[in-house]
Amino acid sequence: MAESLTDPAFISQLEALNLLARRVLRGSLQADRRTKRRGTGITFADYAQYNPGDDYRAIDWKIYARTEELLIKLFEVEEDTNVYILLDCSHSMDPKFFYAKKLAAALGYIALNGMDRVVVHGMADRLSTIVQSARSRSQVFSFLRDLENAPTYGNDTDFTACAKTFQARNRKKGVVLVVSDFLFPAGYSQGLKFLQWSGHDVFALQVHHPADLDCPWLGDLEIQCVETAATQRVTISEKEAKIYREAIASWNDDLRTECSRRGIGLASTTSQVPFEAVIQSMLRKGGLVA
């Protein structure tokens, strides 16, 4: 029987992670998070000088009685957060695509239970929309079904172009969670830079299949790109296999360096690791936002 994101056993795992999030994060993904904006909430924040046009009901008359100075009370505004999930849907994700979906499902489930707004986009040669907007617990099952039904697509992966399209469609700042192997032909630097420049809190969740990290082939071969369908004849010896392993390790090291330099949170895993262990680690480290 194929795994499903709406299976009761999987939902139970998500609920356990949600309870952990509530304990560990103490609301950092909850709608009761406090912002720096001041308004008419319920938690007192500060005083400000009364100016004509201000709500006279906010005047603190006790202070006026003591100082004859008109001050109004300011309160912290409570608001939800936009949680944007950018899921790599390129064909190269096929061996680890369902695993990546489970990670996205867990993060989205936690956010929805915190009454945050969740948007999910697919990335390949263009940006697609998987979940237009979900923002309540009642939409959990439709969110999971839409995510489960999302296919791989495209003829290449253009992270920078997808980041630009994403920003054009989503003007409100939020938390951006990029779920991908980050093996983008043109690199990841410009895409991450653009997301951060747009004012989002960016977190990178790198997912590899174990086969990504090794080169099991030897001899004369014709290889084909799973995304572009381009073919090339190659000869692979132990030397070339070693060069590949070193190259993929260097690529991943550079991603860690880039994220560290930019203050972007990063978690790297393989699809052999239980997905709930990855989410638990992220929550306990407080690494959902940079």
Beta strands 43-49 and 71-78 are antiparallel
Which range among 72-86, 144-158, 264-278 shows the weakest confidence by mean pLDDT?
72-86
Q: What pLDDT score was predicted for residue 286?
A: 63
Task: Decide if pLDDT at 37 tops 90.
Answer: no
Domains of the chain: 8-31+80-201+272-284 (3.40.50.410), 34-78 (no CATH)
Q: CA-CA distance, 16 to 21, in Å (whole number)?
A: 9
- pTM of the predicted structure, to 2 decimals: 0.81
| 16 sits in which H/E element | helix 8-24
Can you tell me the mean pLDDT for 43-64? 73
Q: What pLDDT score was predicted for residue 51?
A: 77
Q: Are 196 and 262 in contact (CB under 8 A)?
A: yes
Q: Which residue has the higher pLDDT, 45 or 41?
A: 45
Q: What pLDDT score was predicted for residue 79?
A: 57
Which range among 4-18, 38-52, 208-222 shows the weakest confidence by mean pLDDT?
38-52
Task: Decide if pLDDT at 101 tops 70.
Answer: yes
Sheet holding 127-134, edge to edge: 127-134, 117-123, 82-88, 174-180, 201-208, 265-270
Can you tell me the mean pLDDT for 254-281? 95
Q: Which residues contact 251 (CB under 8 A, 6 or more apart)?
A: 182, 183
Q: CA-CA distance, 114 to 25, in Å (whole number)?
A: 11
Would you place residue 50 in the very low, low, confident or very high pLDDT band (cuts 50, 70, 90)? confident
pLDDT digit string, tens, across residues 190-202: 999 999 998 899 9
Q: What pLDDT score was predicted for residue 10?
A: 96
Task: Decide if pLDDT at 59 tops 50.
Answer: yes
pLDDT digit string, tens, across residues 209-241: 999 999 888 899 898 888 888 999 999 999 999
Q: What pLDDT score was predicted for residue 126?
A: 97
What's the Cα-to-Cα distance from 58 to each of 79, 98, 163, 200, rounded to whole Å? 21, 53, 43, 33
Can you tell me the mean pLDDT for 179-198? 95
- What is the average pLDDT value for the chain, to the nearest integer? 87
Would you place residue 98 in the very low, low, confident or very high pLDDT band (cuts 50, 70, 90)? very high
Q: What end-to-end distance do the CA atoms of the chain give, in Å?
A: 38
> What tokens appear for 179 in the block?
């779920």
Q: What pLDDT score was predicted for residue 30?
A: 40
Which amino acid is located at 33 in the chain?
R
Q: What pLDDT score was predicted for residue 7?
A: 95
Q: What pLDDT score was predicted for residue 226?
A: 85
Q: What pLDDT score was predicted for residue 228?
A: 85
Can you tell me the mean pLDDT for 144-155? 96
Residues of the chain above pLDDT 90, percent: 64
Coil, strand or helix at 227: coil
